[in-house]
Structure 1
């Protein structure tokens, strides 16, 4: 090959490389631009700062939740003003399967992929979403809560199975003190008083902790084919049954009522629940005005309003209904899951 031909080949190769490089740059720029664009048919989502601290200076309560909209921010924690839940979302970059927060403490239950298999972990967050501690999980994340002060954290995972609808599942519920970092890895080690008598059985399962304060909590106990509402004491490591046929309790901010899932006879085994409110003073139940089966631990937006997830086009939507049994359920926001109210 002559020197002239070698030069022509070199120039041609350089031209190809330049074209590839330019295309790569354009593709990267396009991807970056699309990251902050509204997804077709979904809410507007853009990158920004997300805080779990109350009183950020805006004077507006906020919702922080798992964004379910398709796109580069799917599964990230995102935020909107509580009074504008359908408005543009600010995404944090932090991905969680389950999430909750109170008083500047957050709990993020994550899936972590590896070459061999996926595994799960619980990450305790500060108000700026910085990791404080992490803990390996024994199964699929399903529930998470933080005490009103932000000190105590709890989570539930499926050790076997992945649904509460049937009976072939096992759960593990943990309680963590974020002041001492003492982890109670399973409520199954607690002393149980059932119907006024000491109780022990191999088939006990707990899930759905909801905190009254840094010591007292409520949860679900399953044993002997039944579910029970229990009141627990994290310091004494005891639980006491209060009522049957209660799952995933959620305590109102004023501590007077619990909303829970109740299995209703005659419903489909795949969708067996209705939501009820329980007055803890009178122990009177009131069905709420949501007539579909809800498999979620509801969140109280305030002392009168419930928020919960139902299946939607993006995987889950958030719905709301009054807690007093009146009114009607309505969709609060599309493509969202696991909300917490901040401020």
Structure 2
């Protein structure tokens, strides 16, 4: 190749590289301009103020890929699939009641990840951080906002099998008195004190500041328990109940139940339990739900199911009628404000 030909080839190559670089810069600039107006795989998202007070809003974890993934976002209750306002608070699990929020979050360190339970005020400012011992899985706030509970995996990462270990903690936000583990409570099973090294607790739902329901697992069986904070006791009520969620009027629980013949990796169906009659009613959701449902009103529950971008929010009537319907894509852990 002559010197002239080599020079022409070099000039063409430089021009081509310049064109590619310019196109890349323009594309990046366009994407940056879209940050505050569109979210890949979900409704439009824009940064703004999110509050845990007021009325008519729903706050949840945004699951759509993009700059706002895992941020807490707010939408109108009447339009859960609509445009989202994002706070600069990122959570792996979230819940709120009466102006108190709890954010189970991760911090990436140089050597390992660490996890915290952050108690938030109504403006999502951190009031107190508690180090937690494993992967966040469940969290709840009492109706008054005074009591907060959370569960983490300290061994394993799924409830589907038997090879896992959990730790459930409760804190009083008025005094910051922490119960590090419900395993410190006395267990009353079949009317007698019970002790076993394999005990696990998860899925607290508060009835008031002094009492709660949750799941106890031991010897391959799960139990619905009722807890008494002052007495530091939990008492078994019935078997095969996981992740209970108490209705706003305190009369019913919706929970996940293992059903015979189901896929071992997807063993659960949603049921409602009448606490007066103890009658169970299967809900009109035929898929396995591995979530602690949230009551959106007296007659409806919401829960997460796997979607294209993580999880989608679904709802179903709590009395066994109707049908399940998707209410928001790329969303998880809803809390209803006001």
Residues 36-80 of structure 1: CA distance to partner in whole angstroms, max 9, x if unpaired? 12134421100000000134xxxxx11100001111001000010
Residue 221 of structure 2: aligned partner: 226
- State the superposition RMSD in angstroms: 1.7
Contact kept in structure 1, 2:253 and 2:272, CA below 8 Å: yes
Which residue does the alignment assign to 2:43? 43
Match for residue 317 of structure 1? 312
Which residue in 1 is equivalent to 2:142? 147
- Give the whole-Å Cα distance in 1 for the aligned partners of 2:160 and 2:80: 30
How many residue pairs align between the two structures? 317
Contact preservation (8 Å) 1:158, 1:169: yes
The residue number in structure 2 matching 1:33 is: 33
d(CA) in 2 for partners of 1:268 and 1:125?
39
Structure 1 segments of 4+ aligned residues over 6 angstroms from their partners: 25-29
Distance 1:218 1:54 in 2: 28
Encode CA deviations 1:281-304: one digit per residue, 9 max, x unaligned. Answer: 000000000000000000000110
Gaps of 5+ in 1: 1-21, 56-60
TM-score w.r.t. length of structure 2: 0.91
Q: Give 1:261's aligned residue.
A: 256
Matched with 1:241 is 236
Deviations 1:59-103 (A, max 9, x none): xx1110000111100100001001101110000011000000000
Distance in 1 of aligned mates of 2:279 and 2:68? 43
Distance in 2 separating the partners of 1:44 and 1:311: 21
- What is the alpha-carbon distance in structure 2 between the residues aligned to residue 139 and residue 164 of structure 1? 14
- Shift, 1:33, TM fit: 2.1
- Alignment partner, residue 341 of structure 1: 336
Aligned to 1:203: 198
- Give yes or no for contact 2:245–2:253 (8 Å, CA) kept in 1: yes
Q: Decide which of 152, 165, 179 is 1:170's aligned counterpart.
A: 165
Other structure's SS at 2:123 match: coil
Per-residue CA deviations over 1:189-234 (Å, capped at 9, x if unaligned) read 1001001111111110000000000001000000111000000011
Residue 131 (1) aligns with residue 133 (2): no
TM-score by length of 1: 0.90
Cα distance, 1:112 vs structure 2:
0.7
Report deviation, 1:32: 4.6
Write the distance in 1 (CA, Å) between the matches of 2:255 and 2:234. Answer: 18
1:95 corresponds to which residue?
Answer: 90
